[in-house]
Amino acid sequence: MDWCTTEAFSRSDRSSSATIEASGDRKQDVGECSVWWHESGSASTCSLQRRRRPELLYNENMSSFLLRCGGRKSSHRDFGYQGRTSRQHYHCSRVDFDSQNRPENEVSIKRLPSNGLFRSYPTWRSNRILIALALLILAFSIVDEAKAEPEADPKTKTVRQWKAVGDVLPISEDEDSSYTDNKPRCDRMYDGTQQKEGIFRAPDIYNPELVSRQCLYTFVAGDGERVRLQFNRFDLRGTPPECSHEYLDIFTEATDPNKDLLKTPFGGRYCGKIAPRLRISWHKTIHIAFFTDNNITTPDLFSGTYKIINGSKYSVGIKAPDQECGFVVNVNMLKNGEFLSPTYPGVYPKNITCYWKFVGNADQRVRLEFRDFDLFYGGPHCPFDHVKMFDGADSFSPLIGTYCGQQRNLVVFSSGSSVLVTFNTLYRIADTQNRGFQGIFNISDSYLRLNFINKNDAEHIRGTECDQRILSKRTSNGTVFSPNYPFLYLPNIVCRYFIYGLQDSQNLERVRLEFFDRFDIPATPKGNKKCSDGYLRIYLRGQEVRSEYDKPDQEYCGKTLPHSVVAHGPRMLMVFSSGKTTGTGFKAHYKFETEYKIPGTASPDGLCVFSYLSSSQKSGSFNSPRHPSNYPSNTTCQFTFKPAPDEVVEIVFVTFKIRNDKPGTGVGTHRCQEDWMEIYNIYRPRYSGTEREVLKGRFCGETAPGPTQSERDAVGLRVMLHTDHSGVYSGFDAIYIFKKKEETFGECGGNITESESGELLSPNFPGNYGAPDKTDSSYCDWNIQVRPGYKVLLWFQSFAVEGNPEERGCPAAAVRVWKSADDIPVDMCGDALPSDQIQILSHSSVLRMTFLAAARAVGAKGFKAIWTEIQDSPQCNQFLCKSTNFCIPRSLRCDGIANCGLGDFSDEDRCDKASGISVLMLAGVVLGVSSSLTLVICLWCQRRRLSKKKENSLSHHVHVYDKGARFAAMDIGDRSVSPVMGTRKAAHHLSHASLRTEGVV
């Protein structure tokens, strides 16, 4: 570096004021600098050219000043004392010099306040006295400092000590060990060879011009050692990640203290109030670069401690020559020990790859246990920083696992004699402060051998000591043993048996376990706990998924053979802990059975066959396999309901959704061709053990069957579900109830014979058939039988039954009609029937109709149906309906009921005239009878009047006529009546006899 020097100012006794001894203008070139002296009038000027900013340095030993070029480049800048220039005050930092008394480093210049030690004045010559006083004060202060300084060691080389003019603030109250005379006071060097531990603080800087300052702290350890750095206080401006005006950069991977930091991996930038975490150097050096542009920096911004530690624990085994972080541990050299991530417990470096290879003998296994594990978590697959472990000597061996984040109780066993551990971190800008891992290893032949695991049925879970996984091969089975069975097992081992059945869109299984041969796990009671030492725990509800190992479903110990165990689903876990006392263990047979998740008594052969007996449960529910999940394909399920002899079973479907690829209502064999559900009545003929099934209906789609009840003479009801090879749905959910048989035809039905027509009405019609407080179902059964050679015509004059056949079927109420005894009925509901259902013609002389409303029905108006006997002959000798061409009995003509069927009222046409004649005839009869009664009454009144006159004329005499004997005979019966009264009575009877005679006449 080139410098422009001049003794422009002097403390000699030559003059009390400093003047520039030059006349006129003079230029002197020194390297890249040009120094100008200019004197004109009352002002003298010293100018620098082609440099950025001048610095005025003072040499205490030589009592001289040094003018240095520095700062921003400018074509011409005055550093002088003239009236027209602004007052500029400069503060220069400490400068070190080489053997030729040249500064070794360049330090930025800072402006001083107006009351600084040096000031510029408007004039030079007119203020000589003031300048001299200032120099005199400076001289006394320098002499005092020289007296206060201790004498230098004569053995130490004398170095010129340059001090910036105006550097009045000390670095700290207790000069720490980093301070040396040949370094600027902002940078620090901590030599671990001289002091093994200490403290560090932020620098003490006064910066009124707000010029950016950067201070470098360097911590250096000796060979085989590392630096441990811990921050105790941290309070910098800014909020991460916006660290722009004040921050701290850390470099922990420096290989050489003198290496350029631009070529050193960056360890992170920090600001705010959150201190950086613990740091440990990868080699022997740590750099801290502190940057600030604040006007004042005090030591309390940050502080911490450093310590030099032994670095041998980070090297284990033999270091690989081709890797900076690779080690090989052979059992012949080291059987057990500790291995650490490169800078544990400090923040681990970025963009590194390390490995540890542990190799034992042929009959040995390797056990690794991680006491602490803390890596950056990038997701469940660990795509960023991670640890991988391979079950072998290289990365081509089977992978045991990939780990990241925070791991607890991570213990890994090799299957063979070697294991490889790799540690990889990515280069990224994001700040992560994870500490890595601490692990221990042990290579031994005392670990359990794996020959007790049946390789045909099970597999050893890599990384575990003796855990095994048994997977179903679709309704497969096998045997499991305790380790070393039938001999004594080793103490203090824990083996887990994961027995998993199939569980996918097509399969669902459960596990059945049966113990046999022997069972010997010594029981050690302790308090209320029977199995306090060794035990066998069984988990049936998948607790291992939730890590609920403290909630077993069964726990066994002792010598009693446990009973059979069935899992609640496709998972079963067995945990065997040998404890301190040994035994021979156990032997068990496992079997995978298809799990349908259907309540009821399942078939013992594992098929989808379930039975429901009235003697076991009077009501309950059943469903398609795995409902509400989709049922599997290629499945046939059977549900059989057996009521008592005096009972029937009623089934009501709550939800229903079975695959149907054809549009329209899913009812009947012609529509349900892919998946379907069928309902059968089961009959058993007397003295026969063979059952006979009669189909009641086939259903699919979302058309739910109506409430169904077994027939009175049936022995049960059967529901069949069939699915093909493709397309699955959620299936159905239904309830069943066993109930006492009602009257033969229910509450509103009947057996109708010897009639020509009639009406069928729902309960309470035209009111609703259901009621809010109804708790039982409503059932009606009509059986209509007409003469041979005739059929039954049925048509609905009014129909309103809850449900919608096109959308959801008839789940709450349904009307069913059988056109013949062998016919399959159709469920009918809704507010309007289709044309093929509103009028039905039987196939024979018998027609049957039922109505069943479940207890869950909300009610509707119901129905009114008219049935008529129809002659089944091409010739009609009765009444021929005009539109429908039905031949109905002539007696039904003009009976006020439309018996010809839907839309045909011809049997009631031209009945008005006949009705009128009948009315006239009735009116005439009524009029004739009224006239006769009037005439009779008049004659009777006349005769009575004549009788009274005769009685008055006879006075008190009684005459006996020829006919008196008759009257006397009529009075004999009343002995107590006087003769007069008897005569009156006779006359009365005579009058009546006469009236009767006249009436007859």
The predicted pLDDT at position 939 comes to 78
β strands within 414-508, DSSP E: 418-424, 436-444, 458-460, 468-471, 477-481, 494-500
pLDDT 10s digits, 774-803: 667 888 999 999 999 899 999 999 999 998
Q: What is the mean pLDDT of residues 155-172?
A: 32
Confidence of residue 53 (pLDDT cuts 50, 70, 90): very low
Question: In Å, how far are 6, 36, 69, 185, 842 from 77, measured between CA atoms?
Answer: 17, 10, 11, 29, 123
Two structure tokens written together for 278:
């613990």
Residue 499 has pLDDT above 70, yes or no: yes
pLDDT at 425: 93
Asked if pLDDT for residue 12 goes beyond 80, the answer is no
pLDDT, one tens digit per residue, over 338-349 is 999 999 999 999
Confidence tier at 451 by pLDDT (50, 70, 90)? confident
Q: How many helices (H) and strands (E) does the chain have?
A: 5, 61
Q: Name residues whose C-beta falls within 8 Å of residue 409's C-beta, 6 or more positions apart in sequence.
A: none
Mean pLDDT score, 300-310: 95
3-state secondary structure of 490: coil
What percent of the chain is predicted at pLDDT more than 70?
74
Q: What is the 3-state secondary structure (H, E, C) of 577-615?
A: ECCCCCCCEEEEEEEEEECCCCCCEECCCCCCEEEEECC
Helices (H), 125-219: 128-148
Cβ density class 837-849: b for 16+ within 10 Å, e for less:
bbbbbbebbbbbb
Q: What is the pLDDT of residue 166?
A: 29
DSSP-based three-state secondary structure for 937: helix
* Higher-pLDDT residue of 978, 879: 879
User: Are the C-beta atoms of residues 33 and 48 closer than 8 Å to each other?
Assistant: yes
For residue 359, the Cα-to-chain-centroid distance in whole angstroms is: 43
**Confidence at residue 377, expressed as pLDDT on a 0 to 100 scale:** 92
Average of per-residue pLDDT across 975-983: 37
Quick one: which of 990, 929, 979 has its CA closest to 954?
Answer: 979
pLDDT at 383: 92
Which of 88-92, 132-136, 415-419, 803-807 has maximum average pLDDT? 415-419
Q: What is the distance, to the nearest Å, from the Cα of residue 602 to the centroid of all Cα atoms in its chain?
A: 32
Ramachandran region of residue 311, left (φ > 0), alpha (ψ -120 to 50) or beta?
alpha
Using only C-alpha atoms, what is the Rg of the chain? 59
How much is the mean pLDDT over the chain? 77
Distance (Å, rounded) from C-alpha 473 to C-alpha 448?
28
The answer on pLDDT for 287 being more than 90 is: yes
Q: Which of 220, 378, 193 is nearest to 286 (CA)?
A: 220
Asked if the model's pLDDT at residue 182 lies above 50, the reply is no
Question: In the predicted model, is pLDDT for residue 190 greater than 90?
Answer: yes
Please say if the pLDDT value at position 974 is more than 70.
no
Instruction: Read off the amino acid at residue 550.
Output: D
Instruction: Among 124-128, 604-608, 974-978, name the one with the lowest average pLDDT.
Output: 974-978
Give per-residue pLDDT as tens, 986-1001: 333 333 333 333 333 2
Query: If you write DSSP's letter for every residue of 610-646 in order, what string do you get?
Result: EEEETTT-SEEEEESTTTTSPPPSS-EEEEEEE--TT
Tokens read off for 445: 């032949």
Tens digits of residue pLDDT in 362-374:
999 999 999 999 9
Q: 3-state class of 108 per DSSP?
A: coil
- Specify the pLDDT at position 872: 87
pLDDT at 227: 96
Q: Which residue has the higher pLDDT, 451 or 538?
A: 538
Report the distance separating Cα 128 and Cα 121, nearest Å.
Answer: 10
Helix (H, G, I), strand (E, B) or coil at 141: helix
Q: State the maximum Cα–Cα separation within the chain, in Å, rounded to a whole number.
A: 207
Task: Convert 31-75 into a string of H (helix), E (strand) and C (coil).
Answer: CCEEEEEEEECCEEEEEEECCCEEEEEEECCCCEEEEEEECCCCC
Within 342-485, residue ranges assigned H as helices are none
DSSP assignment of 365-405: EEEEEEEEEE-----TT--SSEEEEESSSSTTSPEEEEE-S
To the nearest whole percent, how much of the chain has pLDDT over 90?
45
* 388-412 confidence digits (pLDDT tens): 999 999 999 999 999 999 999 899 9
Report d(CA 87, CA 115) in Å as an integer.
Answer: 11
Structure confidence at residue 969 (pLDDT): 35
pLDDT tops 60 at residue 37: no
- What is the CA angle 869-874-878, rounded to 5? 50
The predicted-structure confidence for 811-865, as pLDDT tens digits, reads as follows: 899 999 999 888 888 889 998 888 888 999 999 999 999 999 988 888 899 999 9
pLDDT recorded at residue 308: 95
Q: How far apart are the C-alpha atoms of 110 and 211, rounded to whole Å?
A: 7
Separation between Cα atoms, residue 734 and residue 811, nearest integer Å: 10
Residue found by looking up tokens 């013949």 in the block:
820
Question: Strands 64-70 and 53-59, how do they pair?
Answer: antiparallel
What pLDDT shows up at residue 718? 96
pTM of the model: 0.56
Res. 144 pLDDT band, cuts 50 70 90 = low
Determine the pLDDT at residue 396: 95
H or E segment to which residue 213 belongs: strand 213-220
Phi, psi of 967 (to 5 degrees): -65, -40
pLDDT value at 701 more than 80: yes
Q: What is the pLDDT of residue 873?
A: 85
CA distance 598 to 617: 15
Tell me how crowded residue 95 is: count the other CB atoms within 10 A of its CB: 22
pLDDT digits (tens, 9 = 90+) for 640-675: 999 999 999 999 999 999 988 876 666 777 788 889
Question: Helices 964-971 and 979-1000, interaxial angle, to 10°?
Answer: 110
CB-count exposure of residue 389 (10 Å: 0-12, 13-18, 19+): buried
CA distance 713 to 781: 14
871: nearest Cα among 760, 817, 792: 792
Cα–Cα distance measured from residue 454 to residue 449, given in angstroms and rounded to the nearest whole number: 13
User: With 80 as the cut, is the pLDDT of residue 61 above it?
Assistant: no
| Alpha-carbon gap, residue 52 to 34, rounded angstroms | 12
- What pLDDT is recorded for position 670? 79
Query: How far from chain centre, in Å, is Cα 217?
Result: 51
